[in-house]
Amino acid sequence: MNKISLLLVCVLFAFFINLSGDNMYSDFTKTSSGLLYKITQSGDGDLPHNGDTVVLHYTGTFENGEVFDSSLERGEPFSFELGAGRVIKGWDEGVALLHKGDKATFVIPPEIGYGSMQRGSIPANSTLLFDVELLDIKPAPRIEAYDVTGLELYTTDSGLQYYIVDPGTGDSPDQGSNVTVHYSGYLQSDNTLFDSSIKRDQPFRFQLGAGRVIKGWDEGVSLMKIGAKYRFIISPELGYGARAMGPIPAGSTLIFDVELLDFN
């Protein structure tokens, strides 16, 4: 066999391999990202929105059918916040297409999976299949920024600024107290919400004065009473300074709406 014939055979072999792979998923819908999906059972519920917590069962397999993970085997549904980047891109995209009660199969190429990174038993550059069922959708809590219109702005010696939205009742916590708060944090530069315990439906607890939070928090929360709602404006010197911290750029002035729920 001459070189030209051999080359032709190789090209035809590759063509038929690709054709076979395409036929395997011929009844799937392909999105612009490369995600392939097929609804295998239709539910009658709503579509989720970014920020909602979605609850689902899933089984993940390689293209050869080998199972690498399954919430069904653990007997425990998996939940995550949709659109927050907490899962691989193929999941965020795929689950957003499902109604509550839908069952579907996703075929996720490496580009929207784990890419060139090996993840546990998942080799690098793996195409992954997931059979999923969207069991429930928990709407994102509505977060309303405090209205400080017309309120007096106080400034402490350290430079901490604050508004009293609700004064609360009773005593203020002492240094060393364990305080429980709900909070939402915004960048002063553009009012972007970067974190919220309300969004997670999980109050935050810390020991006051132990240096476990930024200085502005240790000082500000010590001024509050149970039930109080304050808005703090925290300069970089009382916040994260010149450090970038996740979604918070270096040198940021931060706004926190804080409610003191309890202390002991």
- The predicted pLDDT at position 15 comes to 45
Q: What is the pLDDT of residues 81-116, one digit of tens each?
A: 899 888 999 999 999 999 999 999 999 999 999 999
CATH code reported for the domain at 28-138:
3.10.50.40
Could you tell me which residue, 218 or 10, shows the higher pLDDT? 218
Mean pLDDT (the chain, rounded): 92
The catalytic residue among 37, 106, 114, 163 is 114
As separate numbers, helices (DSSP H) first and strands (DSSP E) second, the chain gives 5, 14
Q: What does the domain layout of the chain look like in residue ranges?
A: 28-138, 154-263
- DSSP character string of 247-260: TB-TT--EEEEEEE
Q: In the predicted model, what is the mean pLDDT of residues 158-176?
A: 97
Compute the distance between CA of residue 91 and CA of residue 130 in angstroms, rounded to an integer. Answer: 9
Could you tell me which residue, 63 or 141, shows the higher pLDDT? 63
- The predicted pLDDT at position 246 comes to 87
The catalytic residue among 25, 28, 62, 68 is 68
- The predicted pLDDT at position 2 comes to 55
Q: What is the pLDDT of residues 32-51, one digit of tens each?
A: 999 999 999 999 999 999 98
Task: Tell me: pLDDT of 1 over 90.
Answer: no
Q: What is the pLDDT of residues 209-264, one digit of tens each?
A: 999 999 999 999 999 999 999 999 999 999 999 999 988 999 999 999 999 999 99
- Look up 68 and say whether it is catalytic: yes
- DSSP character string of 103-134: EEEEEE-GGGTTTT--BTTB-TT--EEEEEEE
Could you tell me the pLDDT band of residue 119, with boundaries at 50, 70 and 90?
very high
- The predicted pLDDT at position 199 comes to 85
SS3 (DSSP) at 155: strand
Give the lowest-confidence range in 16-25, 187-196, 216-225, 240-249: 16-25
Nearest to 194 by CA among 225, 234, 158, 154: 234
The catalytic residue among 28, 69, 164, 262 is 69
The catalytic residue among 58, 162, 256, 263 is 58
Identical fold between 28-138 and 154-263 = yes
Contacts 24+ apart (CB under 8 A), 236-245: 237/159, 238/158, 238/159, 238/160, 238/214, 239/214, 239/215, 240/214
- The predicted pLDDT at position 7 comes to 47
User: Which amino acid type is present at position 100?
Assistant: K
* 224 close to 172: Cβ distance less than 8 angstroms: yes
The catalytic residue among 37, 92, 108, 130 is 130
- Look up 28 and say whether it is catalytic: no
- Look up 106 and say whether it is catalytic: no
* 166 close to 228: Cβ distance less than 8 angstroms: yes
Task: Tell me: pLDDT of 9 over 80.
Answer: no
- Look up 163 and say whether it is catalytic: no
- The predicted pLDDT at position 11 comes to 42
User: Domain 154-263, CATH 3.10.50.40 — does that match?
Assistant: yes
Structure tokens at 191: 């009012």
